[in-house]
Amino acid sequence: MKQFSNSITGLPAVFKSACCLLLFGGLYGCLGSAPLSGSQNFARLQSTAASPTPVPVPDFDQIPAPPDNPVTQGKVELGFRLWFEPRLSANNRMTCATCHNHTLGFSNAQRNAAGVTGQRGARNVPTIYGSLWQRETFWDGRAKSLEEQALGPIENPIEMNESLANVLKKLAQVPYYQQKFQAVFGSGPSAEGIARALASFERALMMAPTPFERYQSGEKQALSPEQVRGMALFFSGRTQCASCHQGPALSQGIFANIGIGMNLPQPDLGRFVVTGMPWDKGSFKIPTLLNISRTAPYMHDGSLSTLQAVIEHYDQGGIANPELDPRVRRLNLSPSEKNELLAFLNSLSAPDNLRSLGKLPGIHLPAAEIERLILNPL
């Protein structure tokens, strides 16, 4: 318990500790104008120990959250049930886990996703690992918080396609939800309660320290020599990877244009659609790299099917377009350097605590049912 919560509760310690900054300071030093987004982002890098199995449940009151929605055990329990609740969908068959399937790194192994009507959106399903570190959600950042995001998929016609009024009616007929919403929020099922509980569940979803983080904490055998060379490349001024992918989730949570889809006749303009700013054309949220080895295919449109293809994309200098970020330019990596980078990307994965969250007492599902959901989500 203690070991695991370090990666969350270590927040204040981070401000005191210079270890990561010392280590990366030199490397970042080469990046010139690359912004260091503040030491808070290094919180996850402070975790010290190898991952115990299963990953324990963290101390909820230590998880960073908006002041009006602190993470509590009751909300996480309710959020867990709602995450796997088919009543949130029009046909009572689709859950959040249908698309964000934890056996596939909380994505779905497809370029995009089909909703209850079979209609598909244009975007790849992002993982929710590390979403507590994200300021804005969705590939274009159109939702300002996890709370704001959570109700979107329920009413979206190409996702769960259900009205909130119907969802509330259905939930109110289930004694568990009547009692649980009452206990947690002091009233029956409500849209706001659903949003708060789902967001709390997402924030409580944690990974054990990755091999990369364990290496940072002094466990030098956690990475192979090849991975260590890949890490140096990743944090080098030559690749610039870490100038965008940095902090606890290896994402700055801001937006950048690396050219994906910009060679299409009618490209998805991403962030531009939200802000209307011409320089945002083709910018998308810098995604987390946590558990990246599990969430193929990659990019907002799922157009790159492997991590090798992602590395090739960067090696070739991205896809040319007027707003291409200048940090994306031809790298001329050797074949062994590409392998090193790939080996490093594979060190960013670790088991999560879903199973331990599933064992919280207030979920009120038979143990076998939880095990079924975890092994085989709807």
Residues forming contacts to ligand HEC in the complex (CB under 6 A) are 88, 94, 96, 98-100, 113, 115, 121, 123, 125-126, 128, 131, 134, 137-139, 146, 149-150, 153-154, 159-160, 198, 202, 239-241, 243-245, 256, 258, 260, 284, 286-287, 289, 292, 295, 298-300, 307, 310, 314, 325, 327-328, 341
**Shortest separation between residue 49's beta carbon and ligand HEC, angstroms:** 26
Four-CA torsion 16, 17, 21, 23, nearest 10 degrees = 160
Rounded to a whole number of angstroms, the minimum distance from the CB of residue 203 to ligand HEC is: 10
Distance CA(348)–CA(33), nearest Å, equals 26
Looking at the Cβ atoms of 209 and 297, the one nearer to ligand HEC is 297
Query: What does the longest C-alpha to C-alpha distance in the chain come to?
Result: 61
Q: Whole-number minimum distance, CB 159 to ligand HEC, in Å?
A: 4
| Minimum distance of ligand HEC from residue 305's CB (angstroms) | 11
Nearest approach in angstroms of CB 154 to ligand HEC is 5
The Cα-based distances of 333 to 232, 236, 343 in angstroms read 13, 13, 14
Distance CA 194, CA 183 (A): 14
Nearer to ligand HEC, 137 or 216 (CB): 137
Nearest approach in angstroms of CB 370 to ligand HEC is: 18
Tokens linked to 377: 């989500």
Contact (CB, 8 A) for 57 and 263:
no
| Residue closer to ligand HEC (CB basis): 200 or 216 | 200
Residue closer to ligand HEC (CB basis): 43 or 125:
125
Q: How far apart are CA 247 and CA 36, in angstroms?
A: 9
Q: How far is the CB of 132 from ligand HEC (least distance, A)?
A: 10
Q: Nearer to ligand HEC by C-beta: 113 or 354?
A: 113
* Two tokens, residue 42: 């290094």
The residue (of 185 and 344) whose beta carbon lies closer to ligand HEC is 344
Q: Cis link prior to 54 (omega < 30° from 0)? A: yes
Residue 52 burial (CB count, 10 A): 12
The single residue listed with the structure tokens 């200048």 is 326
* Of residues 78 and 154, the one with the C-beta less far from ligand HEC: 154
Report whether 313 contacts 258 (CB < 8 A): yes
> Closest distance between ligand HEC and the C-beta of residue 168, in Å?
14
14-39 burial: b if 16+ Cβ within 10 Å, else e = beeeeebeeebeebbeebeebebeeb
**Closer CB to ligand HEC, 153 or 189, in the complex:** 153
Distance CA 239, CA 101 (A): 32
